[in-house]
Amino acid sequence: MIILLLIMILMLWLVWKFFSSWLWWLLLIAAIIFMLRVFFWGAIILVLLGLLGAFYNNNQQ
């Protein structure tokens, strides 16, 4: 996740430094929203797996 944030910051800096057209900003915002959505679903799946694992461990004891 930290690596993704660094990549996004680098992309923002490159866009700010070299490009100023609206198209680049729209592409960058779309990429950030896509990454956040993927991370959001990944976090939900991890939480569900953790809850299932805890429930399974409680049932075994």
> pLDDT digit string (tens) for 36-49?
888 888 778 878 88
Query: How far apart (Å, rounded) are the C-alpha atoms in residues 61 and 14?
Result: 55
**DSSP H or E run through 44:** helix 22-60
Give me the residue label for tokens 């799946």: 45
Q: Structural domain of residue 24, as residue ranges?
A: 2-60
In percent, how much of the chain has pLDDT > 70?
82
pLDDT at 1: 67
Number of structural domains found in the chain = 1
Query: How far apart (Å, rounded) are the C-alpha atoms in residues 57 and 34?
Result: 35
Query: How far apart (Å, rounded) are the C-alpha atoms in residues 16 and 19?
Result: 6
Is pTM beyond 0.75? Reply is no
Query: How far apart (Å, rounded) are the C-alpha atoms in residues 2 and 45?
Result: 19
